[in-house]
Amino acid sequence: MGKKLDGKKIAEKYREDIKILINNKLNLGYNPPCLANILVGNDGGSVYYVNNQNKLCEKLGIKVKSIHLEENVSQAELLEIIEKLNEDVEVQGIILQLPLPKHINEDYVTEKISYEKDIDGLSTISTGKFYKGEKCFIPCTPKGIIELIKSSNIELEGKNAVVIGRSNIVGKPIAQLLLNENATVTICHSKTKDLKKICNKADILVAAIGKPGFVTADYVKENAVVIDVGTTMIDGKIQGDVIYNEVIEKAAFVTPVPGGVGAMTTTMLLKNLCEGLK
């Protein structure tokens, strides 16, 4: 039987570092850091994530401007809010919760977030710098995954890593970060043939597709490390892409949902906020 990769426990170590960083800045006369988060609609996973952000900010002494908009808000209204936050000198970081409703052009809107405040690395400038290896805000969920793995003393160099999902938010950037750690990476998606066969060769398996219970033990190599990024709300409960109780019997390590990647994601977001670009 494998072990739980406890994101909550590991995140606590990083949160202590954040507290120290904030206190040091306060002692130097700086104002408390301030996060602005924008949520459009009521997607279960997004609401869960934003609520966790707000609770953690309160705990760490970070100010929050939390903006919750109706599903039918116009793109023009959303852009106006982003522009005001860009100009707000109190706000150090802006996060726009994705996905957005279909009537809003996600790519166009995220481009309007100021690069200096784009702490989730959504804009083209941020993305370009990320893939070129230049200094930038690293996307929070992928960053959290890598920190979670490395904090557990799991070797990545030379390992076969398979990522299920090719989103710009998780799939593609986590593949790049795994490459940066010298893993050999395969990205799988809805058109991939022999998916189960490919997954069975993975030393590191990352599931980021938003399909609850998709990954069963049949997909997992013996003693693999399985990272579950799924956060789908079903009957008021968050469920992951991996059937945890089944996969833990075969894998060496598995992240639970909740309590795995999500805890690290929120922490990395606030770490980006407090460190800022220098």
Does pTM surpass 0.75? yes
CB 207 within 8 A of CB 242: yes
Residue 119: CB partners within 8 Å, gap ≥ 6? Answer: 35, 92, 93, 94, 95, 137, 140, 269, 272, 273
Q: How confident is the model at residue 13 (pLDDT cuts 50, 70, 90)?
A: very high
Q: Using the Cα atoms of residue 156, residue 258, residue 35 and residue 108 in order, give the sign of their dihedral.
A: positive
Q: How far is 164 from 131, CA to CA, in rounded Å?
A: 20
Total structural domains in the chain? Answer: 2
Distance CA 177, CA 200 (A): 21
- 167 annotated among ligand-binding-site residues: yes
Provide the residue type at 133 as one letter.
G
Q: Which two tokens stand for residue 75?
A: 């793109």
Average pLDDT (228-246) is: 93
Question: Is the same domain home to 207 and 242?
Answer: yes
Average pLDDT of the chain? 94
**Domain match, 191 and 232 both:** yes
Q: 103-149, pLDDT tens digit by residue?
A: 999 999 999 999 899 999 988 999 999 999 999 999 999 999 999 99
User: Is 15 among the annotated ligand-binding positions?
Assistant: no
Least Cα distance to 156 among 96, 218, 215, 202 occurs for: 202
pLDDT at res. 275? 85
DSSP label of 103 = T
Residue 148 belongs to domain spanning: 140-261
Specify whether 102 is located in the same domain as 160: no
- Check whether residue 237 and residue 144 sit in a common domain: yes
Distances (CA, A) of 118 to 85, 94, 131: 11, 6, 16
CA distance 236 to 180: 37
Token pair 């953690």 is found at 56
Residues 156 and 91 in one domain: no
Q: Note the residue count of the chain.
A: 278
**Structural domain contains residue 11:** no
Residue 8 within a domain: no
Query: What is the C-alpha separation between 161 and 258, in angstroms, rounded?
Result: 23
3-state percent breakdown (helix, strand, coil) of the chain, nearest 5: 40, 15, 40
Residue 184 assigned ligand-binding role:
no
d(CA 2, CA 13): 23
State the pLDDT confidence band at 45, using cuts at 50, 70 and 90. confident
Same domain, yes or no, for 149 and 110?
no
The answer, yes or no, to whether residue 278 has pLDDT greater than 70, is no
Please state the rounded mean pLDDT for residues 62-86: 96
> Is residue 105 situated within a structural domain?
yes
Residue 125: inside a domain: no
* Rounded mean pLDDT, 238-243: 95
- Are 249 and 151 members of one domain? yes
* pLDDT number for residue 222: 97
**pLDDT single digits (tens) 167-200:** 988 999 999 999 999 999 999 999 999 999 999 9
Query: Is 61 assigned a ligand-binding role in the annotation?
Result: no
72 and 169 together in one domain: no
Is 9 inside a domain boundary? no
Q: How far is CA 31 from the centre of its chain?
A: 27
Q: Are residues 108 and 147 in the same domain?
A: no
CATH of the domain at 38: 3.40.50.10860
Q: Are residues 106 and 56 in the same domain?
A: yes
In a domain, 127, yes or no: no
- Do 161 and 104 share a structural domain? no
Same domain, 80 and 167: no
Radius of gyration of the chain, Cα coordinates, nearest whole angstrom? 19
Q: Is residue 217 part of a domain?
A: yes
Please, is 234 exposed, middle or buried when counting C-beta atoms within 10 Å of its C-beta (0-12, 13-18, 19+)? exposed
Establish if 2 belongs to a structural domain.
Answer: no
Q: Give the CATH number for residue 212.
A: 3.40.50.720
Ranges 139-148, 229-238, 247-256: which has the least confidence: 229-238
pLDDT band for position 277 (cuts 50, 70, 90): low
Give pLDDT, residue 12.
Answer: 94
Most confident of 129-138, 196-205, 234-243: 196-205
